């Protein structure tokens, strides 16, 4: 939308239409905009009708029915988000001592104290990266009325510091992996055979003594190689280690990324008809598709929140959805990606700030100082 140049009046009216549509979910009439600008000189209902018609010619407003009401297009929401992100950069520049340029007319209050308190309380008791990501998907779904998604980073580039196994009951073992970057990952492993405490302790000791300082994604392959080369001498020991690794204790990218999703039912209200809803849910149903979305749109090396309005490039059924995502980091290393997928009429200002706040929260609640 950077190619479209709007006058200050057009920009003001467009912002008002978008915010009214976000608040009501209904097509916006010129009289509704006029009520927003009551007693403001030069903005009569007739003038506003002309401005809204011009915005329609720019491809920013559309008229879904024969009524006078108009709704913002995906291009309008992109323009709106562009203003929000520019305003955020200007605010950051002001804090660092630089002079801001003229604001776009949007009012972007900081995340409220009540919302920050709600978020912080929701993360009470979280002690590992696994719990953080799982809790994040639930919290984002709750506060956005959309889909909360949290994707764990692959083990690529992570280096083993320590691993520990504990029995949880019949056929279940808890694996706790600590990387040299300070990340703590835990997984519950379903096993095909029972293992004694001694077997688990011996397997952990073997991994810690032989592979501390190794990249995690290389360990399983090396264990398999040693099992093949020294099958008789280490058969029972290495079989136990291989079983634990194969169940996901050291799962790399080939085992599938760990992804947590919450709030799918929130998207039901997005669809205008049953067929659109069915197609949209099918598009999001496979977790592999969500992994692809987050990987394609959110770069773990970036610092800012990424907002993508209209996901129709990924699937035509997702044209009425927006993705707001940010990378979460721990000790300078990538922990994963946290994101909201929601209707385009989401509360952008609050959700951008909430996603950013939660992404940065990982450093504090997991007791690892930020870079």
DSSP 47-68: HHHHHHHHHHHTTSEE-SSSSS
Confidence band (pLDDT; 50, 70, 90) for 54? very high
CA distance 36 to 370: 43
Calculate mean pLDDT across residues 172-181. 82
pLDDT of residue 4 exceeding 70: no
Confidence (pLDDT) at 95:
46
Q: Is the pLDDT of residue 55 over 90?
A: yes
What pLDDT does 105 receive? Answer: 42
pLDDT tops 70 at residue 252: no
Q: What is the pLDDT of residue 253?
A: 47
State percent of the chain over pLDDT 90. 7
Domain ranges of the chain: 8-95, 113-154+258-365, 160-255
What is the three-state SS of 202-221?
HHHHHHHHHHCCCEHHHHHH
Q: Of residues 188 and 265, which shows the higher confidence score?
A: 188
Q: Which two tokens stand for residue 89?
A: 């950069």
Rounded distance, CA 161 to CA 138, Å?
A: 30
Mean pLDDT for 211-230 is: 77
Going by pLDDT thresholds of 50, 70 and 90, the confidence category of residue 17 is very high
Top mean-pLDDT range of 71-80, 190-199, 296-305: 71-80
Q: What is the mean pLDDT of residues 76-87?
A: 84
> Span 179-208, mean pLDDT?
81
Give residue 96's pLDDT: 42
Instruction: For the domain made up of 113-154+258-365, give the CATH fold.
Output: Beta-Lactamase (3.30.450)
- Match 């709750």 to its residue by tokens: 142
Mean pLDDT of 189-205: 84
Cross-strand bridge partners of residue 38: none
User: Is residue 234's pLDDT more than 50?
Assistant: no
Residue 13's pLDDT is 92
State which fold the 160-255 domain adopts.
Enolase-like; domain 1 (3.30.390)
Residue 265, classified by CB atoms within 10 Å of its CB into exposed (0-12), middle (13-18) or buried (19+), is: exposed
123-160 pLDDT per residue, tens? 988 877 778 888 898 899 888 888 888 887 665 567 88
Q: Is the pLDDT of residue 307 over 50?
A: yes
**Residue 113: Cβ within 10 Å count:** 8
Q: Please, which pLDDT band fits residue 342 given cuts at 50, 70 and 90? A: confident
Window from 44-48, 57-61, 221-225, 239-243 with minimum mean pLDDT? 239-243
Residue 103 — pLDDT band, cuts 50, 70, 90? Answer: very low
The average pLDDT across 28-49 equals 80
Tokens of 60: 């920013």
Question: In terms of C-beta density within 10 A (0-12 exposed, 13-18 middle, 19 or more buried), how is residue 261 classed?
Answer: middle
Could you tell me the sign of the dihedral formed by the alpha carbons of 62, 322, 111, 353, in that order? negative
Q: Given 1.10.10.2520, 1.10.10.10, 1.10.10.410, 3.20.20.70, which CATH number is that of 8-95?
A: 1.10.10.10
Average pLDDT in the 236-255 region? 60
Check if the beta carbon of residue 308 is closer than 8 Å to that of residue 323: yes
Q: How confident is the model at residue 61 (pLDDT cuts 50, 70, 90)?
A: very high
Query: What does the pLDDT average to over 151-172?
Result: 78
Which has more confidence, 232 or 208?
Answer: 208
């Amino acid at each position: 939308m950077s190619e479209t140049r709007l006058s200050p009046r057009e920009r003001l009216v467009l912002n008002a239409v978008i915010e009214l549509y976000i608040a009501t979910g209904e097509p916006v009439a010129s009289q509704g905009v006029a009520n927003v600008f009551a007693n403001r000189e030069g903005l009569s209902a007739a003038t506003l009708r002309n401005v809204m018609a011009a915005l329609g010619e720019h491809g920013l407003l559309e008229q879904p029915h024969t009524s006078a009401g108009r709704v913002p297009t995906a291009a309008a929401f992109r323009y709106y988000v562009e203003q929000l992100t520019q305003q955020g950069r200007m605010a950051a520049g002001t804090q660092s001592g630089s002079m801001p340029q003229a604001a776009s007319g949007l009012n972007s209050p900081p995340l409220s104290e009540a919302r920050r308190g709600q978020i912080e309380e929701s993360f009470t008791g979280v002690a590992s990266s696994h719990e953080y990501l799982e809790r994040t998907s639930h919290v984002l779904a709750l506060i956005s009325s959309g889909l909360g998604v949290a994707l764990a980073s692959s083990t690529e580039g992570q280096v083993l510091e320590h691993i520990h196994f504990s029995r949880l009951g019949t056929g279940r073992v808890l694996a706790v992996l600590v990387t040299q970057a300070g990340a703590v990952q835990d997984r519950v492993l379903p096993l095909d055979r029972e293992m004694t405490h001694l077997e688990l302790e011996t397997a952990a000791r073997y991994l810690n003594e032989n592979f501390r300082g190794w990249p995690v994604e290389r360990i399983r392959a090396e264990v398999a190689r040693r099992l093949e080369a020294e099958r008789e001498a280490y058969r029972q020991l290495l079989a136990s280690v291989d079983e634990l690794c194969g169940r996901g204790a050291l799962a790399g990218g080939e085992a599938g990324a760990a992804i947590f999703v919450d709030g799918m039912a929130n998207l039901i209200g997005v669809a205008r008809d049953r067929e659109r809803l069915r197609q949209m849910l099918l598009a999001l149903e496979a977790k592999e598709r969500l992994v692809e979305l987050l990987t394609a749109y959110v770069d773990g090396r970036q610092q800012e929140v990424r907002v993508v309005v209209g996901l129709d490039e990924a699937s035509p059924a997702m044209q009425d959805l927006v993705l707001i995502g940010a990378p979460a980091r721990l000790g300078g290393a990538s922990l994963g990606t946290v994101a909201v997928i929601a209707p385009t009429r989401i509360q952008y200002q609050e959700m951008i700030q909430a996603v950013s706040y939660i992404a940065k929260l990982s450093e504090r609640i997991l007791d690892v100082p930020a870079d």
